[in-house]
Structure 1
Amino acid sequence: MLNDARSHGLWEKTAIAAPRTYPLRGELTADVVIVGGGFTGLSAALHLAEAGQRIVVLEGAEIGFGGSGRNVGLINAGMWVMPDDLPGELGDIHGERLLQLLGNGPQIVMSIIEKHGIECELERNGTLHCAVGKSGLAEITERARQWQKRGAPVELLDATETASRIGTKAYAGSLLDRRAGTLQPLAYVRGLAHAALRAGAVLHTGSPALSCVPAGAGWKVSTATGSVSAGWVVVATDAYSEGPWAKVRSEQVHLPYFNLATRPLSSELQNSILAGREGVWDTKEILSSFRMDQAGRLVFGSVGALRNTGTAIHVGWAKRALSRLFPQLEAVEFDYEWYGKIGMTNNALPRFHRFERNIVGFSGYNGRGIAPGTVFGQILARHILGELGEADLPLPVTDAKPQPFRSIKESYYEIGAQLAHFSGERF
């Protein structure tokens, strides 16, 4: 996007076409103005428009420009935090409420895809959280126990079953989550945009919000070439926030994450690597993830930014790492490479903010954007429609507080990933 081949890589080449949209020009009125054209903003737009609300979406760049169009494409249930730890972080009511909501998140995503006929390479075969060594096995064993006591359809697999499913003996075991799956993320977010337009929403791209000021009983959100006056404002810009809601960016530390995609593998190789098409990630601190796309390309990713010295270091490491995981790949080459930014909060949990009266938003997905973003967009719609009060939301109201030493932490993550990958898989 925006003439940058490393912004969306494979996803831009294989996604369905985005709807034709234009920058905002002139003055509009609406019931709700939504700032941000990603999973959260477009899910909110779709559900509000279906309820008969007049909706205008303002996207600063293009549909899915941020994390929604760059991520791995794993439709995960829950968050990174262990299930039993959520009540301690959020309180018993919000903790269990969030667990139930996000545990069902993948099914909500899949039902929306089915209802609206979104072509996004959906796979319903689950995900595998793979254990690296004894500590990794202990981690996923405990995670399985905590989900199973809540009735979740998760299963702990031993090393032999894991190797059979993935095609490598590198892991001590894995946690199979049958609720989860994979999709083509840019195609999905573009599909949400098409569905929102059909429901009556208005979408403007190339229209970053520059200001938000009171206007009568509501608010006026202005861009360089126009404005929208509405009773409600939804802030759905998350890790890429700037302008009036730059404070959302300031409470998150950016963790860079890259993906590389091979050319389509032969039928023989596809049968030997992830034949069941599950999505995979491991328990390493600097984790790796991989999955197949519909054409049989292996998409492999990890922490790091593909810029400056990082490009050669991360690509070189990925070749070595894949050769160790799957020797049958031999001299693997990549046809596509891209990266984005994950917004990490200080407790790895999302936030709900009421910035002003009738200005609300969820943010801080910590690398779990697809299901939470979709579900939180739906929750915002229900809140605005009066179906859910603040006391009924899955998260408490909090203020956006800047993280201390944010720039230092971001530099540490980027440089640290390069150092780890420079030496990784060499011996």
Structure 2
Amino acid sequence: MYNDPRSHGLWEMTAPPPPEATALDGNITTDVVIVGGGYTGLSAALHLAERGTKIALLEARQIGFGGAGRNVGLINGGMWTMPKELPTVLGPVYGERLLDLLGGAPLLVRELIQKHAIDCELQTNGTLHCAVGKAGLEEIEERCRQWSARGAPVKILDAAETAKRVGTEAYAGSLHDGRAGTLQPLAYARGLAKAAQSAGVKLFTESPVLSTERQAGNWIVKTARGSVTAQWIVVASEAYSTGPWEIVRKEQVYLPYFNFATKPLSTDVLKTILPGKEGCWDTREILSSFRLDKAGRLVFGSVGALRNTGLAVHRAWAIRSLQKLFPQIGRIEFDAEWYGKIGMTDNALPRFHKFAPNVVGFSGYNGRGIAPGTIFGKTIASHVSGEISEDNMPLPLTEAKEQKLRTAKEIYYEAGAQIAHIAGARF
């Protein structure tokens, strides 16, 4: 986007076009104004519109500009943390609510794609969390025990079965999650936007919010060329937040994440690499992820930013790593390269904020945006509609606060990823 091939890379190359939308020009009145055109905002808009609520959605840039259009495309259930940690951190009531909600989130994604005929390369054969060494195997075995105790369709695959499914003998085993899958993330965002627009949502792009004003029990949300008057504001701008809700961005530390997409692999090679089209990531602290797209490109990513010295460092590391993991590919050539920013909260869990009367939002997805963002959008639609009270939401209300040492941590993560990728090969 914006003539930057490293912003959305392969996803912009292969996604269907976005729905037509222009900047807000003039003053309008509606029931709810939603700020942010990612998964949460689009899902909230769609679910509210289907209830007959009048909706205006303001996106500062283009639909899917933030994490929704840049991520790997893994549809996961739950968060990075172990299931048992959620009740410990959030308390038994909210911990159990969040686990139940997020455990079923991938199913909602599938249902929306089917219901609205969204063309986004959906694959439903699950994901593989690949174990690096003995410690990695112990980690996924514990994760499997905890999810299995909750009835989730997960299982441990041994090294031989993992090698058969992945196409490399690099892993000690893997955790297969049957709830999960992959999709084309920007195509999914654009598909949600089209569905929302068809349901009556007014979409406005290139319309960053500059200020808000409370007047006669309503909110006036102002942009450069117009305003929206509404009873409710849903803040869904996540880690790319600016303006009145910049605190949402400041509450999170940016973790840069890049992806490279190979040229389409040959038919013979594709028989040996992810023949089941599962999405994968490993247990390393500086993790890697990989999956195939519809055309047979291998999308391979890790922590780091493709800018300044990082571009050459991470590209060279990706080539070395792919050659070690999948020597059957031969010469590694890339069709696309891009990166984005994952917003990390201080406890790796999302937040529910009430910024003012009738101004609410979820944020802090920690790299798990597709399924959580979609189901949080539906949840906030239920809350705005009066179907779920604040006390019955899946997360407690918390005050948004800037994370300590945020800038220093961001510098450390970007530089540390380069050092790690310079210092060592993958295995």
Please state which band the TM-score falls in when normalised by the shorter chain: over 0.9
Percent identical pairs in the alignment equals 66
Equivalent residue for 1:198?
Answer: 198
In 1, distance between residues paired with 2:119 and 2:35? 25
Equivalent residue for 2:366?
Answer: 366
Q: TM-score, normalised by structure 1?
A: 0.99
Which has the larger displacement, 305-314 or 323-332? 323-332
**Matched letter for residue 337 of structure 1:** E
Provide, for residues 94-148 of structure 1, a one-character-per-residue CA deviation record: whole Å limited to 9, x for no partner. 1011111101000000000000000000000000000001111110000000000
Secondary structure of 1:301's counterpart equals: strand
In 1, distance between residues paired with 2:205 and 2:393? 30
Q: Report 1:241-252 matches (<5 A).
A: 241-252=241-252
Equivalent residue for 1:117?
Answer: 117
- Preserved contact between residue 167 and residue 326 of structure 1 (Cα < 8 Å): yes
Q: Which runs of 4+ in 1 moved over 3 A?
A: none
Q: TM-score, normalised by structure 2?
A: 0.99
In 1, distance between residues paired with 2:42 and 2:424? 39
Secondary structure of 1:83's counterpart equals: coil
Equivalent residue for 1:101?
Answer: 101
Q: Report 1:179-194 matches (<5 A).
A: 179-194=179-194
Equivalent residue for 1:213?
Answer: 213
Secondary structure of 2:306's counterpart equals: coil
Shift of residue 218, structure 1, vs aligned partner: 1.5
- Preserved contact between residue 257 and residue 302 of structure 2 (Cα < 8 Å): yes
In 2, distance between residues paired with 1:119 and 1:302? 26
Provide, for residues 231-287 of structure 1, a one-character-per-residue CA deviation record: whole Å limited to 9, x for no partner. 000000000001000000111000000000011111111111000000000000000
**Matched letter for residue 133 of structure 1:** G
Secondary structure of 1:272's counterpart equals: coil
Which has the larger displacement, 211-220 or 245-254? 211-220
Equivalent residue for 2:351?
Answer: 351
Q: Report 1:8-23 matches (<5 A).
A: 8-23=8-23
Secondary structure of 1:111's counterpart equals: helix
Secondary structure of 1:24's counterpart equals: coil
**Matched letter for residue 172 of structure 1:** A
Equivalent residue for 1:305?
Answer: 305
Secondary structure of 1:228's counterpart equals: strand
Equivalent residue for 1:33?
Answer: 33
Equivalent residue for 1:400?
Answer: 400
In 2, distance between residues paired with 1:82 and 1:28? 45
- Preserved contact between residue 83 and residue 99 of structure 2 (Cα < 8 Å): yes
Q: Does 1:232 align with 2:229?
A: no
Can you give the 5+ residue segments of structure 2 that lack an aligned partner in the other structure? Answer: none
In 1, distance between residues paired with 2:391 and 2:255? 32
- Preserved contact between residue 215 and residue 229 of structure 1 (Cα < 8 Å): no
Equivalent residue for 2:174?
Answer: 174
**Matched letter for residue 224 of structure 1:** A
- Preserved contact between residue 29 and residue 229 of structure 2 (Cα < 8 Å): yes
Provide, for residues 22-75 of structure 1, a one-character-per-residue CA deviation record: whole Å limited to 9, x for no partner. 000000101000000000000000000110011000000000000000000000
Equivalent residue for 1:137?
Answer: 137
Shift of residue 215, structure 1, vs aligned partner: 2.0
Equivalent residue for 1:332?
Answer: 332
- Preserved contact between residue 324 and residue 426 of structure 2 (Cα < 8 Å): no
In 1, distance between residues paired with 2:235 and 2:253? 19
Equivalent residue for 1:84?
Answer: 84
**Matched letter for residue 178 of structure 2:** R
In 1, distance between residues paired with 2:216 and 2:171? 60
- Preserved contact between residue 250 and residue 403 of structure 1 (Cα < 8 Å): yes
Kindly tell me the number of residue pairs found equivalent between the two proteins: 427
- Aligned-residue CA RMSD (Å): 0.7
Shift of residue 426, structure 1, vs aligned partner: 7.7
In 2, distance between residues paired with 1:71 and 1:167? 23
**Matched letter for residue 271 of structure 1:** K
- Preserved contact between residue 35 and residue 233 of structure 2 (Cα < 8 Å): yes
**Matched letter for residue 316 of structure 2:** G
Equivalent residue for 1:270?
Answer: 270
Secondary structure of 1:3's counterpart equals: coil
**Matched letter for residue 142 of structure 1:** E
Equivalent residue for 2:341?
Answer: 341
In 2, distance between residues paired with 1:215 and 1:33? 15
Equivalent residue for 1:409?
Answer: 409
- Preserved contact between residue 182 and residue 278 of structure 1 (Cα < 8 Å): yes
Equivalent residue for 1:255?
Answer: 255
Shift of residue 423, structure 1, vs aligned partner: 1.8
Shift of residue 424, structure 1, vs aligned partner: 2.0
In 2, distance between residues paired with 1:378 and 1:127? 24
Equivalent residue for 2:146?
Answer: 146
- Preserved contact between residue 218 and residue 230 of structure 1 (Cα < 8 Å): yes
Provide, for residues 264-317 of structure 1, a one-character-per-residue CA deviation record: whole Å limited to 9, x for no partner. 111111111000000000000000000000110000000000000000000000
- Preserved contact between residue 64 and residue 189 of structure 1 (Cα < 8 Å): yes
Shift of residue 149, structure 1, vs aligned partner: 0.6
Equivalent residue for 1:282?
Answer: 282
**Matched letter for residue 346 of structure 2:** N
Shift of residue 329, structure 1, vs aligned partner: 1.2
